[in-house]
Amino acid sequence: MRIDILSIFPEMIRDAVGVGLLGKALENGLLDVHAHDIRDFATGRHRSVDDTPYGGGAGMLMQCGPIFDAVESLRPVNSLRRIVLLSPRGKRLDQAMVRDFAAEPDLVLLCARYEGVDERVSEALVTDEVSIGDYVLSGGELPALVLVEAISRMLPGVIGDWESVETDSFYEGLLGPPQYTRPETFRGRTVPEIVRSGNHAAIRRWKRKEALRTTLLRRPDLLETTARRHLNNEDYNMLAEIESEMPIGEKENQP
């Protein structure tokens, strides 16, 4: 998969993608990430890519020209089928969107700066507008890296053990269950006996139930949205068990 990232700080991208699993994915040819400097497509002597907004207002906006030229320069190497603007106005990123993007042969990620981009960029170029949360950052570089990292985990061969992907939080709309490693006892806290039992069927059920419990307590909204299509009758039975095990006060706090 090829991902082209447009930014005025491409060094932020280049420095980050060369480490960890991303670095290995690049090294092994499973992922191809290229960072491009939007300023290379500016026409002025000062390589300026921003200007004041019509109608007044604080801050500056990124201009159409350099962005359009930067995107169009990618035609020989990128299909330009999906052009993603990282923006707080976008749809909030979730695992379903990650899976959708990971199925593409290539993507273009556009990192805005200043007060955003001229609206004509969104109207004529952008196919997807994505936010990583309800807060504002100085630019789209960090959100772009979040998206690249999430996508990379969905590509065959990047993660050695695919089971570790399938048990990630949000893979089926649920948060992940608790996990433990050595030592067996630490400062009076002991690893649950069931996960040390060697009974794989019981362990699988325990993990599923604890994932349901964690989601119910921390993100009950997921059980009404993304997780619902993955739940089966056994899951609903476990949810009933969980609710019966909850203290009365805790039950009353559930939506």
For the stretch 180-215, pLDDT in tens is: 999 999 999 999 999 999 999 999 999 999 999 999
Query: Which residues is 5 bridged to in the sheet?
Result: 35, 109
Residue 115 designated active-site: yes
Residue 229 designated active-site: no
pLDDT for res 163 = 53
Q: What is the CATH architecture of 185-252?
A: Orthogonal Bundle (1.10)
Active-site choice (37, 129, 149, 168) = 168
Active-site choice (88, 113, 213, 235) = 88
Pairing of strands 106-111, 83-92: parallel
Query: DSSP string of 22-65?
Result: HHHHHHTTS-EEEEEEGGGG--STT---EEPPTT--SS-EE-HH
pLDDT for res 165 = 54
Fold held by 2-152: Alpha/beta knot (3.40.1280)
pLDDT tens for each residue of 83-111? 999 999 999 999 999 999 999 999 999 99
Active-site choice (115, 128, 129, 149) = 115
Residue 141 designated active-site: no
Per-residue pLDDT of the chain (255 residues; tens, 9 = 90+): 999 999 999 999 999 999 998 999 999 999 999 999 999 999 888 899 999 999 988 899 999 999 999 999 999 999 999 999 999 999 999 999 999 999 999 999 999 998 899 999 999 999 999 999 999 999 999 999 999 999 999 998 888 654 555 555 566 788 888 999 999 999 999 999 999 999 999 999 999 999 999 999 999 998 988 778 889 999 999 999 999 999 876 655 665
Tokens in use for 86?
A: 């990282």
Helices H / strands E in the chain, number of each: 11, 9
Query: Which residues is 131 bridged to in the sheet?
Result: 92
pLDDT for res 162 = 47
Active-site choice (4, 66, 118, 153) = 153
pLDDT for res 238 = 97
Q: pTM for the complete prediction?
A: 0.84
Structural domain boundaries in the chain = 2-152, 185-252
Question: Could you report how far apart the first and last alpha carbons of the chain are, in Å?
Answer: 41
Query: Which DSSP state fits 134?
Result: S
Residue 77 φ then ψ, to 5°: -125, -10
Residue 88 designated active-site: yes
